[in-house]
Structure 1
């Protein structure tokens, strides 16, 4: 191969391609967080009665729904055309977002942008397998994980800077020149696709899409002002029926969207479970800690974002370390166990701080460092193990499924934990009626978040149990 000899004039092409993959993953990650500080300016500038929550939810819905389909299409039609399509949709969506003149236009543009961004979250990791031999993949997968952590860390800060010095439109327009650069470099440097003669299970894809949309709408039911007919119970019923139809279809289709034989491998089941649990844990940290800092300790959104720095720094540096350790033949089972243990430790520490020092933003921030290290160790493991456990012709869908489960686990987990928090606060305030109102609310929220962090810690422990199954792969 021309890329195997360092002295070859073409040996740098995989590195150029990887740099563009990391760039696109950073842009996709930024657009999940950059609006947190830009949203007040958007609310002021754009007319319309559409709830602002749809600006986030439209991207999340579209990105989650397309993940599995991108993975399967990459297996059948090739990774290069699907990656270029995802970049193109993300670019068009970004331009449309920046040019939006109403909230309804912005929501539709965000859905288009999410349809591209969801592909980027999967296809960047998948394309690494086309560029580098298996022994080098952990290193580059870990660098992608570090890039994601850095982007998530600086998204709110960049959004605030753009709004202050330019306008909220630039939170989207900044993507355009970078996406064009990435598209051109990847179109030139990626290898030609290898197509399979296999049909796509469109019925299965439709059933999965309905199940995911209904489930995600259920998690956001209280924020989106949905039509009265779409009650929470109705959405959950639709999600359950569509999920059953999807499983039934996968068990009987000649070419299923998500082949059931993938889950016959214990290591793959472990990776998928760890992906699901890590999504619950990560979103619990990035949603509820800033919420407490802003509502109870009265920090600004930008200040609360800075307090997430230990979490994101931990993810960044631990992801790089995880790749090096995997290349050094450290067992994935051991790394996953350590990562899960650190996650559980972090949530235990957060619960203790809320019990003993609920006014200390610094202590709460410091408790996020073990969670960041734990997540950073787990992210590359999920990708590497998923790809190793799958046959080459199914590597796309094998990579995509844990990503989809991570997003779904985060969304559903946050919704359930938010309901638990609300219920605990209601019960707590009923018993604290004689106390001062501000102190009572703060105490109630601190106690409610303790229950939330216990649930997140339980998800981390479940990931630790699942890591034991990784032995099956390492024995092969």
Structure 2
């Protein structure tokens, strides 16, 4: 793009446009101070953006909701299909990788996407991310083996790294801060709705068509989202205010930081995935991976500190109290949520003997309550303006529900497993939207792309790491349970088979009467995994207590007062075309 090219190739404010906002009589000596309030990086002042209204804003929000629904559906539809996939590829040991490969690439790229959204076209970057996700979905749909499926999940993860954070960044240019909570709730509710539709659809595809349709379904949905964003979205931002070449802007992406962070995350993930299962914890390979991770992270921290504002994770932003508390919360909350998503269906299919479709129905309590909670909390936060107490209360409910889920047994009745899921779900619904809302409240609009990417990065990092940890705990617990309840059989018979093949394996061995013992063994592994979930929620609760108690309505008034105090003449910014 040439100088002053815009984010959407339509009329947008130039750098000179920001000069309108400076009172002519005070422009001289006060200009450095005023730069804290007037636009930076091609953005008009946040409180003077003229946002789209009417059908246009509705279409944009619907397009963003569909994009997030696409990602959420992909993450939840596979849960009920995983047992059948393990049957097809004889790959129960790969369960963790189906999620971890996906989270690994999405996690490692999210901080870089934050920089990309800040430096390049927001609209173009968002569409590119959807394209990568679609490509990964196609690879998964035609995968001939478990390895190919894992590769496809990794490619899809590349796109996911930019879809969710991009949607939140776009929202900052579509709605003013005080109106965003309800929009956040609507977008966050897509996770809940997809979590309802996903397991049911995944179960139906798996039982009646093929698990491959769990991935084919992404292709038409993605096409609709692309069409809406391409035709309707306009961003009132200077995309390249300095007139830099493409390569010059690429060099601003902190490629050094990304090249250090990606192998660091890979090393940690491999150590957690292999430790205690493929290799002993004191094995030289596991120790080497941890040492590699530690060394790379130290180098990464040093480079980020030296790069300052050009860093992938700018220290100035990370030192802000609410940002720090939000990223810690996002990490533990994301981990807890995805451990539930992956291991509740295994309880119903392996222990309760349910079909994929039925298990999708059986996890509806946690998902429906999640959607309801998200919408209610979003509406209430929009009305009252404060958000921190809702997050703290939500984590209390999540912790209680998660704790009760650890009491599941082979014969747990429906009243209990429904009620416990409902409690947990009401807590989960609040957790998706508040951290991002909090970060957008305390940061300048120029910092929102990076701040949003930081939160989504740590949420995905938590999911990637602790799905692997959960897999490790589950496998070790299952092995321990098998050695306790059915010691005459080698544990590998079940560890390297499908999660729904218990009855057929016992029938082949002439031991159908031992079904109860094997299910008890599964409960040992699942209970250990659910205890991990409780610990993660407790850490998320502590992090939630660290958020500042801000009021989004008061923040808007504060910005207007500051502008008036500094003598800024607040003329209308250019409208969104």
TM-score w.r.t. the length of structure 2 is 0.72
Residues 1:175 and 2:252 are matched in the alignment: no
CA separation of 1:350/1:185 partners in 2, compared to 1, >3 Å: closer, same or farther? Answer: closer
CA separation of 1:3/1:15 partners in 2, compared to 1, >3 Å: closer, same or farther? Answer: farther
- Stretch of structure 1 that moved more, 374-383 or 197-206: 197-206
CA contact (8 A) 2:392 2:541 kept: yes
Shift of residue 57, structure 1, vs aligned partner: 4.1
- Stretch of structure 1 that moved more, 217-226 or 95-104: 217-226
Could you tell me how far apart the structure 2 residues matched to 1:434 and 1:183 are? Answer: 55
Query: Residue deviations 1:141-190, cap 9 Å, x none?
Result: 11111011111222232133335555444433333333223222212222
Shift of residue 425, structure 1, vs aligned partner: 5.9
2:342 to 264, 267, 287: 287
Query: Residue deviations 1:93-145, cap 9 Å, x none?
Result: 33444455565554444332221122112211221111111111111111111
> Larger helix proportion, structure 1 or 2?
1
Could you tell me how far apart the structure 2 residues matched to 1:211 and 1:84 are? Answer: 28
2:330 to 262, 275, 297: 275
Shift of residue 398, structure 1, vs aligned partner: 0.9
2:354 to 299, 302, 311: 299
Could you tell me how far apart the structure 2 residues matched to 1:203 and 1:131 are? Answer: 33
Query: Residue deviations 1:34-57, cap 9 Å, x none?
Result: 234445776788899x96865544
Query: Residue deviations 1:395-442, cap 9 Å, x none?
Result: 112112222212222332343344445555666777778999655555
Residues 1:62 and 2:115 are matched in the alignment: no
Could you tell me how far apart the structure 1 residues matched to 2:102 and 2:411 are? Answer: 34
- Report the equivalent of 1:378: 431
CA separation of 1:433/1:224 partners in 2, compared to 1, >3 Å: closer, same or farther? Answer: closer
- Report the equivalent of 2:539: 462
- Report the equivalent of 1:27: 70
Could you tell me how far apart the structure 1 residues matched to 2:234 and 2:276 are? Answer: 44
CA separation of 1:352/1:91 partners in 2, compared to 1, >3 Å: closer, same or farther? Answer: closer
Shift of residue 329, structure 1, vs aligned partner: 2.2
Could you tell me how far apart the structure 2 residues matched to 1:322 and 1:264 are? Answer: 28
- Stretch of structure 1 that moved more, 284-293 or 131-140: 284-293
Query: Residue deviations 1:13-62, cap 9 Å, x none?
Result: 121111111111111122223234445776788899x9686554433322
CA separation of 1:135/1:66 partners in 2, compared to 1, >3 Å: closer, same or farther? Answer: same
Could you tell me how far apart the structure 1 residues matched to 2:394 and 2:200 are? Answer: 27
Shift of residue 200, structure 1, vs aligned partner: 1.6
SS of 1:195 mapped into structure 2: coil
- Stretch of structure 1 that moved more, 336-345 or 87-96: 87-96
TM-score w.r.t. the length of structure 1 is 0.86
Could you tell me how far apart the structure 2 residues matched to 1:178 and 1:414 are? Answer: 27
Q: Which runs of 5+ in 1 are unaligned?
A: none
Higher relative contact order (CA 8 A, sep 6+): 2
- Report the equivalent of 2:38: none
CA separation of 1:24/1:271 partners in 2, compared to 1, >3 Å: closer, same or farther? Answer: same
Residues 1:233 and 2:287 are matched in the alignment: yes
- Report the equivalent of 2:568: none
- Report the equivalent of 2:20: none
Could you tell me how far apart the structure 2 residues matched to 1:412 and 1:311 are? Answer: 23
CA contact (8 A) 1:61 1:111 kept: yes
CA contact (8 A) 1:322 1:380 kept: no
